[in-house]
């Protein structure tokens, strides 16, 4: 969870020596062929993540179903480990299946390498999950990074040493010094920081000694290298040596490696100006990625004024104390886990921990409730924002629970309805149930909370749970005198009754909903009533009634810009036309709904619409396409943990029978299997009759997902031979920003030259 997790793929063989770590990679190759779980174990800062990414990239060719990378550093709740791994495998918590069950069912017949990064703070939960995976999925290999072993039966523990150090001998050849892993890393990071840096005969001995003093710890080396922007290597060595000598009691005794890293971080911290230090310690309050707006809203003070936050944050990024990512069009930031721990200690020393935690709660509760008011009318942008902020929001929900703050907690959880509906249904149910159990909130909040609880139960096809939730919502809504919400809850309760098979009760509730609202023009009550009316008509076989309600729903939701409701109404209307045999009209409606489902990444709607369009295809004489769409729909459905919706089951059965009759059983099954192997994008393109969209970096190499959108654009221009100035002009960004993107690309992909980037792009697009 935390940051978006990534799938890795193959890269060219040419890589940097310091990233390659040939000894460890050779041992990993051997052990992963036999051991089901290999844990890379070592203290923070030794480069476990770097080694894991490199190993996964090189070893991925041997796994039929690819190599998948899941970052756990920002997952703070042990209950969400399965969610994080499921999300990392591109599965979706959007139905009733618990993420762990969904994950185990999906992995059962897979052959893949799963990389779990930063497990140390989740050892118990990670160990339990890995034990289950190893027992149930024979083709899965796991590569974990942690400060401690997971203690899973059959685990092979590989201690990760620091980078290779240059020899101490005075007559060591200069080429050997320059190609030691630690010196190469220092040189690359120094060049990135200062614009130009080289190992020369004059400075190589000093660089070698500095790398030795830093024990070959990658994080320590990077923090020192960035100071070449303002200090010479000799100055850096002198200042660090003074600190090492002081801590070693005035002698030359070597410090333990964890002390070496602490000294280096202390040195970098102490060189900061007071406002920079204040901001750095306060940033640890964010559980995941954060934006400039977040920092201004939570961390600003008289010392760190909001107008100067950008300057101070930029300073910390330039000094490699804060890492910068790109999330869509928004710059986001995060802390290295070791730096987060250091900042937390400094925050406690400053006596600011409670203050900043409370500020964080107030900020996210206010921000989410403000954004939530209009979320349904700008759903794409809001979901992108939530994907970025969700780890921070989860942290705030947990704090509200720990403080039994039902008022702020319920307000926050209910404001995220669109996220739970499309991204995390079982998680939303869990938060709502826990928050409702805290105690009595105010009646308006309770009415809204029970309404969403019932709605999520409907998405899980669970009318048994939905009924009491809507009853509670109706009672609270009536007591709070909220006619619009009351009308919505009664309308949704009618859907629950239809799902439970009580069509008479559903009809009575629908009549009640119509009589409750005192403002027929109020959108939310009106669109909910129309959705319930359309579904009620479909259950009753009243196609004319379904068409009428759906047409009005399409009109209203399109005018309002409510994509989720528009998707549902188009789906209802398209299904109605498909049942009546109007192939031309139904294709247009279902295609429009599918484009929206792709835009908001609604997996349940995607599978339903692919099945519906498969039926349309077979009715139109395209049996092969129909079979492939049926296979693709099944993959998406099972990946969301959903069961077949009863209303679509007859169409699926009819499509299967007709396609089998047209193709023959063997050919039909072969096409279904081909459809199961399609990516979602390719399946949707097939359904829409559109060519699959090419990517700047071909999706055949899933490691492309390591790069943000802007980084992928920069990588593509590097491959075309553009210099930084030309890239900046093309993308309307500064040369300095281009340099930062290239530095991030090199770091993420484990390269040390633009040539390697270009070669990788060329290889990916072959």
Q: Cβ atoms within 10 A of the Cβ of 520, count?
A: 10
| 504 found inside a domain | no
Q: Are 215 and 160 in contact (CB under 8 A)?
A: no
Please state, in angstroms and rounded to a whole number, the distance separating the CA atoms of residues 656 and 672: 10
> Are 715 and 749 found together in one domain?
yes
What six digits make up the tokens of 257? 């490696």
> What pTM did the predictor assign?
0.85
In 42-137, DSSP assigns E strands to 67-71, 112-117
pLDDT tens per residue, range 698-713 = 444 445 556 766 788 8
Please state, in angstroms and rounded to a whole number, the distance separating the CA atoms of residues 648 and 533: 18
> Are 10 and 66 found together in one domain?
yes
> Are 54 and 189 found together in one domain?
no
> Are 14 and 106 found together in one domain?
yes
| 521 found inside a domain | no
pLDDT tens per residue, range 652-688 = 999 999 999 999 999 999 999 999 999 999 999 999 9
| 729 found inside a domain | yes
> Are 325 and 252 found together in one domain?
no
DSSP 381-439: HHHHHHHHHHHHHHHHHHHHHHTT-HHHHHHHHHHTHHHHHHTBHHHHHHHHHHHHHH-
CATH code of residue 320 = 1.10.10.10
| 627 found inside a domain | no
Q: Where are the alpha helices (DSSP H) in 501-562?
A: 503-516, 523-540, 543-560
Give residues with Cβ within 8 angstroms of 612, minimum separation 6. 571, 574, 575, 578, 586, 590, 648, 651
Closest to 265 in 3D by CA, of 296, 222, 298: 222
Residue where a domain terminates, one of 270, 290, 315: 270
Please state, in angstroms and rounded to a whole number, the distance separating the CA atoms of residues 667 and 621: 16
> Are 17 and 154 found together in one domain?
yes
Residue 714 lies in domain: 702-764
Number of domains in the chain: 4
In this predicted structure, what is the pLDDT of residue 709?
A: 65
> Are 264 and 283 found together in one domain?
no
In this predicted structure, what is the pLDDT of residue 66?
A: 87
Please state, in angstroms and rounded to a whole number, the distance separating the CA atoms of residues 262 and 350: 18
Residue where a domain terminates, one of 270, 298, 318: 270
| 653 found inside a domain | no
Q: Are strands 323-327 and 330-334 parallel, antiparallel or unpaired?
A: antiparallel
> Are 233 and 278 found together in one domain?
no
Please state, in angstroms and rounded to a whole number, the distance separating the CA atoms of residues 605 and 611: 10
In this predicted structure, what is the pLDDT of residue 18?
A: 40
Residue where a domain terminates, one of 327, 351, 375: 351
Residue 689 — left, alpha, or beta (φ > 0 → left; ψ -120 to 50 → alpha)?
left
> Are 117 and 46 found together in one domain?
yes
In this predicted structure, what is the pLDDT of residue 2?
A: 39
In this predicted structure, what is the pLDDT of residue 200?
A: 87
Q: Are 256 and 248 in contact (CB under 8 A)?
A: no
Q: Are 278 and 309 in contact (CB under 8 A)?
A: no
| 540 found inside a domain | no
Please state, in angstroms and rounded to a whole number, the distance separating the CA atoms of residues 720 and 738: 15
Give the sign of the dihedral formed by CA 391, CA 393, CA 397, CA 399: positive
Residues of the chain with pLDDT under 50: 1-20, 247-253, 694-702, 766
| 559 found inside a domain | no
Give residues with Cβ within 8 angstroms of 747, minimum separation 6. none
Q: Are 419 and 383 in contact (CB under 8 A)?
A: yes
> Are 35 and 122 found together in one domain?
yes
> Are 95 and 238 found together in one domain?
no
| 301 found inside a domain | yes
Closest to 225 in 3D by CA, of 246, 250, 207: 207
In this predicted structure, what is the pLDDT of residue 703?
A: 53
Residue 216 — left, alpha, or beta (φ > 0 → left; ψ -120 to 50 → alpha)?
left
Q: Are 225 and 186 in contact (CB under 8 A)?
A: yes
Name residue, tokens 């809507």: 470
> Are 10 and 150 found together in one domain?
yes
In this predicted structure, what is the pLDDT of residue 698?
A: 40
């Amino acid at each position: 969870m935390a940051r978006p997790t990534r799938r890795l793929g193959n890269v060219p063989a040419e890589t940097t020596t310091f990233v390659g770590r040939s000894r460890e990679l050779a041992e990993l190759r051997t052990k992963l062929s036999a051991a089901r779980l290999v844990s890379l174990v070592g203290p923070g800062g030794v480069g476990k993540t770097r080694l894991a990414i490199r190993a996964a990239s090189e070893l991925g060719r041997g796994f039929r179903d690819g190599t998948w990378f899941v970052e756990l550093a920002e997952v703070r709740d042990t209950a969400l480990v399965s969610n994080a791994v499921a999300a990392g495998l591109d599965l979706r918590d959007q139905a009733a299946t618990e993420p762990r069950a969904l994950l185990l069912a999906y992995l059962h017949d897979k052959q893949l390498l799963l990389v779990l990064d930063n497990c140390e703070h989740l050892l118990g939960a990670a160990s339990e999950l890995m034990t289950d995976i190893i027992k149930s999925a024979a083709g899965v290999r796991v590569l974990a990074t942690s400060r401690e072993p997971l203690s899973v039966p059959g685990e092979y523990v590989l201690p990760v040493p620091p980078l290779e150090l240059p020899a101490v001998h005075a007559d060591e050849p200069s080429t050997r010094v320059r190609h030691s892993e630690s010196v190469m890393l220092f040189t690359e990071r120094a060049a990135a920081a200062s614009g130009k840096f080289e190992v020369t005969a004059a400075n190589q001995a000093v660089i070698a000694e500095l790398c030795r003093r830093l024990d070959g710890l990658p994080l320590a080396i990077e923090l020192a290298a960035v100071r070449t922007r303002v200090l010479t290597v000799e100055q850096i060595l002198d200042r660090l040596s003074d600190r090492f000598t002081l801590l070693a009691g005035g002698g030359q005794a070597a410090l333990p490696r964890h002390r070496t890293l602490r000294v280096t971080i202390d040195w970098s911290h102490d060189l900061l100006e007071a406002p920079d230090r204040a901001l750095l310690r306060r940033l640890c309050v964010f559980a995941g990625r954060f934006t400039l707006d977040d920092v201004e809203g939570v961390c600003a003070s008289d010392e760190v004024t909001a107008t100067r936050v950008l300057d101070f944050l930029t300073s910390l990024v330039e000094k490699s104390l804060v890492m910068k990512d790109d999330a869509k069009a928004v710059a986001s930031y995060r802390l290295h886990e070791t730096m987060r721990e250091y900042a937390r200690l400094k925050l406690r020393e400053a006596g600011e921990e409670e203050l900043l935690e409370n500020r964080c709660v107030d900020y996210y509760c206010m921000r989410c409730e403000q954004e939530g008011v209009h979320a349904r009318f700008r759903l794409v942008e809001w979901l992108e924002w939530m994907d970025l902020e969700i780890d921070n929001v989860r942290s705030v929900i947990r704090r509200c629970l720990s403080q039994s703050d039902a008022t702020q907690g319920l307000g926050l959880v209910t404001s995220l309805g669109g996220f739970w509906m499309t991204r995390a249904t079982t998680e939303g149910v869990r938060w709502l149930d826990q928050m409702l159990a805290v105690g009595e909130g105010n009646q308006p909040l309770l009415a809204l909370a029970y309404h969403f609880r019932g709605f999520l139960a409907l998405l899980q096809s669970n009318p048994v749970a939905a009924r009491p939730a809507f009853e509670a919502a109706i009672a609270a809504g009536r007591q709070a005198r909220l006619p619009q919400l009351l009308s919505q809850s009664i309308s949704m309760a009618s859907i629950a009754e239809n799902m439970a098979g009580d069509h008479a009760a559903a009809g009575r509730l629908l009549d009640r909903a119509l009589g409750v609202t005192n403002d027929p023009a109020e959108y939310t009550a009106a669109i909910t009533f129309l959705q319930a009316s359309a579904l009620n008509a479909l259950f009753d076989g009243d196609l004319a009634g379904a068409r009428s309600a759906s047409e009005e729903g399409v009109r209203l939701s399109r005018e309002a810009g409510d994509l989720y409701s528009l998707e549902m109404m188009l789906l209802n209307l398209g299904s109605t036309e498909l049942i009546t045999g109007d192939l031309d009209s139904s294709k247009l409606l279902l295609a429009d709904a599918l484009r929206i489902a792709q835009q908001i990444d609604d997996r349940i709607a995607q599978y339903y619409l692919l099945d519906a369009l498969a039926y349309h295809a077979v009715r139109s004489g395209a049996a092969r396409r129909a079979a492939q769409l049926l296979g693709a729909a099944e993959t998406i459905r099972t990946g969301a943990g959903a069961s077949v919706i009863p209303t679509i089951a007859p169409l699926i059965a009819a499509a299967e029978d007709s396609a089998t009759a047209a193709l023959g059983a063997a050919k039909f099954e072969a096409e279904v299997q081909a459809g199961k192997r399609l990516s979602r994008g390719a399946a949707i393109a097939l359904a829409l009759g559109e060519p699959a969209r090419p990517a700047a970096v071909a999706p055949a190499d899933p490691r492309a997902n390591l790069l943000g959108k802007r980084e992928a654009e920069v990588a593509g221009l590097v491959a075309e031979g553009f210099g930084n100035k030309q890239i900046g002009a093309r993308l309307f960004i500064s040369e300095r920003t281009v340099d930062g993107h290239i530095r991030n690309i090199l770091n993420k992909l484990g390269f040390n030259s633009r040539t390697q980037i270009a070669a990788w792009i060329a290889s990916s697009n072959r």
